């Protein structure tokens, strides 16, 4: 009796046994359709066994085994299992989360990527001695000899050798003896830039150990040429016929980085995988990676689950970015999973950043990661911008803009240089208030204020999307003197248009980027020098290269200094370093002006000196005293219910069921920082330990108890290594 063990997308942490007819040979990693309850569902085979803990009479028979695409690689299945165990999430949910929507349906997938027509032997293939191939494998011997003789062979020639020659060719591709023909790969030194000494040292250090696992932390200032280093190392992988996975934090970074890669590797298959793609686009790219035809896979956090047949290198750019952490459902960290995947596959992983996360920096100073540094900018005559603080306690500010900032903008416009005003609040104003009774417009579904969007004449909640018209008078006292307080991108844009009527001003935020092709058009405007002043949110803060940008102005950054989040200082410094790094990246000298009430704050002092490491050591010392990560490991049990008391009572009850022991610390349940979201009240319970292993053991046992509790009015989830509270 053949039995398959299948992962299904159900909220139970188990896999299910099904009988397979003897005439069918099942394979681990393929999709199946099986009966579950009264319906048919799609799953993935994780094991093929001969015995089950259930009797044969109780087991149902598999309905259909798909053979439309190759089986998922074993290394990817192991990643799923690790993800399920570490993040305390049902294995079937992890597996199906990773599949494109198109492959979760019962329809067989017919389209297959077309194999390219020409192939050439790699350096690895040239060194292969034919004696390692069995003399009975005549097709392999003939094909290898032909490659060594001709170097470049057309697919039609390969087919003439034998009917099975194409299958052998795929084997050669998998082991890296052969690669799809690309003229660029034959000219190893044909690259447009000469590496600086620092860059060359980094490339050489990593290149010496490209065939084994290491976690490299590449700490390089903004504009230091990290992307060029990535491309040199990717070129080495291409020469060996291997694939590279490049993770980036934001969808908006994809077009620019993809364009850079395509310019360097014009004949190489490059795909992008992110949530902005249609289901068919994502499925097509996903399969190209699985078949091995895509050599560079560029994507956001979800792409860490992409099946890659011959993975040789993983790069995580802007590794400190919180966008790599999923905040709902399966709360995984793509950065941390990338490190695990690299370790299991025995390949290097590079974590690149101008401001590494304190967890990564701590791992580097403890020699768990290997840190490489870049201290100077890559472009000729480029230098770090001069950062100055404008003390708004003594300087007058009108419509959010100081006279010093206005004067600097005028200067850059006269020099025909571009400027960026950074304010991390979209909309016109964050608050609508009545001057008489101090009423403020709040969301009925969230514990947040409604943001004024004057252009659309409405109030909007930026958490749940609720909208309503701006009232003509105060709903509480009837006074018509209700006014917007504070500044958002729209208000700053309006103020700049009044002050600079002839300037070309472009606002870039979530509201202006709703159309699919909007970002590409915006980049064309910027690089075409058809913009004088950019006004934007964190969308503009990282990864972009604007050669003509000479000035950055930062507004309202002090708000983060009041935050109760212990990571707020780290996140603010990273954000400001990134946005400051947009200035002075070419021959233009850059200036950064920060409007603040706390110019002598240690964070701003470190920022003026571009001294990340000194601030990192200071914050780490504070965290050691406070017993915060990275000195402890945390998990958060979240609960939400129609009433806050229901959520808190649930958390108190499950806390009483726990047996934490002496190495686990549990804190009393408290309301979440945003206590109400989308009509549900939220609370959480924090658990932490100095031992990651002890914490995982405790959570595994405790979670079993959680799943047995009736939660009809409660939704709960576990977040391992939380970054939001």
Smallest CA-to-CA distance from 382 within 196, 580, 552, 223 is with 223
Residue 287 CA, chain-centre distance (Å), reads 20
* pLDDT value, residue 697: 95
Q: Is the pLDDT of residue 381 over 80?
A: no
Q: Topology of domain 633-720, per CATH? A: TATA-Binding Protein (3.30.310)
Q: Is the peptide bond before 698 cis (omega within 30 degrees of 0)?
A: no
% of residues, the chain, pLDDT over 70: 95
Q: What angle do CA 316, 322, 323 make, to 5 degrees?
A: 70
| 108: DSSP letter | P
* The pair of three-digit structure tokens given for residue 163, joined into one six-digit string: 């009917």
pLDDT (tens digit per residue) in 287-335 = 999 988 899 999 999 999 999 989 999 999 999 999 999 998 999 999 9
CATH 3.40.50.300 residue ranges for the chain: 197-374, 386-429+486-621
- The pLDDT tens digits of the residues spanning 630-667 come to 999 999 999 999 999 999 999 999 999 998 888 999 99
Cα separation values, 127 from 166, 239, 240, 391, Å: 22, 13, 12, 66
**Would the pLDDT of 113 be above 70?**
no
State which CATH number among 3.90.650.10, 3.20.20.70, 3.30.365.10, 3.40.50.300 fits the domain covering 386-429+486-621: 3.40.50.300
- Token digits for 142? 């003939």
pLDDT at 348 over 60: yes
| Alpha carbon distance 431, 536 (integer Å) | 19
CA distance 507 to 492: 9
Q: What is the pLDDT of residues 22-47, one digit of tens each?
A: 778 889 999 999 999 889 999 999 99
Find the DSSP H helices in 424-508. 489-499
3-state SS assignment for residue 366: coil
The radius of gyration computed from the CA coordinates of the chain, to the nearest angstrom, equals: 28
Predicted confidence (pLDDT) at residue 110 exceeds the cutoff of 70: no
> Which pLDDT score, from 0 to 100, does residue 410 have?
96
Domain 2-104 homologous superfamily, CATH = PriA, 3(prime) DNA-binding domain (3.40.1440.60)
**C-alpha torsion 376→381→385→386, nearest 10:** 110
CA distance 265 to 442: 51
Alpha-carbon span 306 to 281, nearest angstrom: 14
- CA–chain centroid gap for 261, Å, is 18
Query: Is a pLDDT exceeding 60 seen at residue 184?
Result: no
Largest distance between two CA atoms of the chain: 94
Angstrom distance (rounded) from CA 159 to CA 157: 5
DSSP string, 299-331: ESGGGGG---TTEEEEEEETTT-GGGB--SSS-
- Helices 644-657 and 692-707: angle between axes, nearest 10 degrees: 110
What is the CATH number assigned to the segment(s) 197-374? 3.40.50.300
Q: Which residues contact 430 (CB under 8 A, 6 or more apart)?
A: 449, 451, 452, 485, 486, 488
Q: Which of 273-277, 583-587, 617-621 has the highest mean pLDDT?
A: 617-621
Report the chain's mean pLDDT, rounded to a whole number.
Answer: 89
Domain with CATH 3.30.310.180 in the chain: 633-720
Count Cα atoms within 13 angstroms, Cβ side, for 218: 28
């Amino acid at each position: 009796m053949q039995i398959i063990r299948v992962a299904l997308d159900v909220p139970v942490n188990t896999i299910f046994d099904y009988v397979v007819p003897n005439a069918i040979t099942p394979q681990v990693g393929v999709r199946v359709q099986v009966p579950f309850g009264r319906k048919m569902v799609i799953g993935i085979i994780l094991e093929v066994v001969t015995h089950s803990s259930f009797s044969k009479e109780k087991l149902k028979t598999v309905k259909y085994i798909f053979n439309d695409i190759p089986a998922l690689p074993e290394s990817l299945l192991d990643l799923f299992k690790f993800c399920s165990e570490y993040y305390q999430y049902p294995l079937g949910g992890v597996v199906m989360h990773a599949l494109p929507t198109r492959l979760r349906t019962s329809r067989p997938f017919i389209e297959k990527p077309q194999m390219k027509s020409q192939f050439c032997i790699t350096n690895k293939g040239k060194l292969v001695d034919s004696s390692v191939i069995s003399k009975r494998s005549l097709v392999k011997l003939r094909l290898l000899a032909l490659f060594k003789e001709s170097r470049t062979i057309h697919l039609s020639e390969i087919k003439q050798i034998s009917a099975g020659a194409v299958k052998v060719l795929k084997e050669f591709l998998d082991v890296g003896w052969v690669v799809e023909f690309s003229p660029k790969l034959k000219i190893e030194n044909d690259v447009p830039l000469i590496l600086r000494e620092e860059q060359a040292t980094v490339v050489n250090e990593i290149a010496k150990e490209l065939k084994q696992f290491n976690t490299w932390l590449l700490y390089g200032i903004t504009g230091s040429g990290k992307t060029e280093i990535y491309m040199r190392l990717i070129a080495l992988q291409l020469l060996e016929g291997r694939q590279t996975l490049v993770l980036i934090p934001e969808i908006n970074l994809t077009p620019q980085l993809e364009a850079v890669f395509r310019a360097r590797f014009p004949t190489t298959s490059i795909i992008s995988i992110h949530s902005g793609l249609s289901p068919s686009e994502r499925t097509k790219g996903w399969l190209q990676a699985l078949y091995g035809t895509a050599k560079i896979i560029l994507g956001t956090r979800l792409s860490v689950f992409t099946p890659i047949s011959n993975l040789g290198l993983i790069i995580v750019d802007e590794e400190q970015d919180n966008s790599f952490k999923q905040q709902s459902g399966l709360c995984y960290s793509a950065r941390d999973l990338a490190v695990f995947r690299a370790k299991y596959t025995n390949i290097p992983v590079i974590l690149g950043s101008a401001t590494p996360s304190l967890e990564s920096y701590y791992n580097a100073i403890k020699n768990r990661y290997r840190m490489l540094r870049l201290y100077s900018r890559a472009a000729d005559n480029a230098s770090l911008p001069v950062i100055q603080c404008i003390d708004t306690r003594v300087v007058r500010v009108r419509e959010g803009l100081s006279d010093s900032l206005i004067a600097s903008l005028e200067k850059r416009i006269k020099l025909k240089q571009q400027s960026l005003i950074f304010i991390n609040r979209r909309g016109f104003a964050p608050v609508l208030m009545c001057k008489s009774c101090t009423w403020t417009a709040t969301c009925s579904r969230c514990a947040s204020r409604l943001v004024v969007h004057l252009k659309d004449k409405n109030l909007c909640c930026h958490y749940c999307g609720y909208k309503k018209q701006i009232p003509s008078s105060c709903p509480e006292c009837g006074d018509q003197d209700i006014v917007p307080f504070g500044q958002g991108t729209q208000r700053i844009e309006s103020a700049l248009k009044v002050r600079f009527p002839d300037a070309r001003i472009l606002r870039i935020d979530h509201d202006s980027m709703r159309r699919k092709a909007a970002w590409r058009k915006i980049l064309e405007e910027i690089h075409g020098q058809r913009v004088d002043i950019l006004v934007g949110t964190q969308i503009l803060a990282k990864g972009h290269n604007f050669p003509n940008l000479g000035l950055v102005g930062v507004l309202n950054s002090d708000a983060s200094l009041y935050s109760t989040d212990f990571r707020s200082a780290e996140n603010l410094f990273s954000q400001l370093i990134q946005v400051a790094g947009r200035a002075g990246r070419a021959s233009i000298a850059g200036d950064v002006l920060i409007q603040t009430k706390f110019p002598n704050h240690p964070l701003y002092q470190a920022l003026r000196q571009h001294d990340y490491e000194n601030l990192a050591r200071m914050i780490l010392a504070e965290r050691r005293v406070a017993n915060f990560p990275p000195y402890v490991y945390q998990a958060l049990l979240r609960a939400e219910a129609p009433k806050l008391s229901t959520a808190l009572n649930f958390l108190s009850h499950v806390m009483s069921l726990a047996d934490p022991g002496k190495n686990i610390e549990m804190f009393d349940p408290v309301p979440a920082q945003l206590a109400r979201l989308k009509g549900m009240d939220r609370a959480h319970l924090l658990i932490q330990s100095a031992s990651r292993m002890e914490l995982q053991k405790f959570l595994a046992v405790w979670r079993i108890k959680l799943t047995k509790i009736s939660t009809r009015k409660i939704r709960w989830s576990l977040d391992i290594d939380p970054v939001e509270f």
